Amino acid sequence: MTTTIRTKKAKTQTSHYSGSSNSGPNPTQQNIRKIFDTYRDNAASEPDTIGMEGVMKYFEAIDVALDDVSFVVAFDLLDAPTMGEFSRDGFVTGWTNASTPSNPCDTLDRQKAYIESLVQKLSSDASYFKQVYKGSFKYAKPEGQRAIPVEHAFAFWDMFFSGQQGGIDWSSPRTKWYDLWREYYTSKNNRPVNKDLWNQVAELVSKTREPGGESLSWWSEDGAWPTAVDDFVAFVKEKRGADGMETS
């Protein structure tokens, strides 16, 4: 996957850590800043940025891989402005928010453990899954483009919808939904994925995995689904009909 670098101011977050003071960074923040400085770019012009090389070294230190969802979880937590870059504000604020007085995330081991806990949360908390998935749009699309190329989309979908890569298993008792989505999209659509469709795929996954969602009773012709989802439902019904399966 091609990666691009750009700088963007991190969004403001409210800290959940109560140890801050008006006199400056608390010890936890000081330790987090030291970690940032260990991996940041050395160029004087970019003192507040960890670039691609530093990100790779940092991920290696906390056992985050680029072929599973742990790296997207880390980017989301630390409000990475783009694929392969951390800002000082996002890094310090993210790890400060994750810290508590009894368990500060101010060492590499603690940061590793916290990322691991978030990956576990991804498979059990639907709201958190949607947050990380929808936020990944900016990492999946190339810089300057409005949509995600198909090959990039599937690289991310393979992570999010495969339990082997830290995501969820997009299936139900009678239906391997992700296999069907892959077959449909590559054979019937195969177009770049815009933000609306990217987000609606998360809703589609949620609907199909609900109790009774396998029947497709949640879908109607009057719904506000993107055309690609409408066409996918028609594709599934056609496949089920050809296989002699119930379609509603």
What digits encode the pLDDT tens for the residues 65-107? Answer: 999 999 999 999 999 999 999 999 999 999 999 999 999 999 9
Return contacts of 60-66, CB within 8 angstroms, 24+ apart: 61/108, 61/112, 62/108, 62/111, 62/112, 62/115, 63/112, 64/112, 64/115
Give the pTM. Answer: 0.85
Dihedral of CA atoms 25, 30, 35, 36 in degrees, nearest 10, equals 20
Position 42 pLDDT exceeds 80: no
Percentage of the chain lying above the pLDDT 70 cut: 86
Q: Could you tell me which residue, 12 or 135, shows the higher pLDDT?
A: 135
Lowest model confidence (mean pLDDT) among 42-51, 63-72, 223-232: 42-51
Q: Average of pLDDT values for 4-12?
A: 38
Give phi and psi for 87, each to the nearest 5. -95, 155
Per-residue pLDDT, 17: 53
Structural domains in the chain plus CATH codes: 27-125 (1.10.238.10), 138-242 (1.10.238.200)
The span from the CA of 193 to the CA of 146, in Å, is: 9
Lowest model confidence (mean pLDDT) among 12-21, 24-33, 128-137, 163-172: 12-21
Distances (CA, A) of 139 to 72, 82, 201, 208, 214: 8, 6, 16, 26, 31
What digits encode the pLDDT tens for the residues 131-160? Answer: 999 999 999 999 899 999 999 999 999 999
Position 163 pLDDT exceeds 80: no
Per-residue pLDDT, 2: 41
Per-residue pLDDT, 247: 40
Q: Average of pLDDT values for 60-64?
A: 97
The span from the CA of 180 to the CA of 54, in Å, is: 38
Per-residue pLDDT, 248: 37
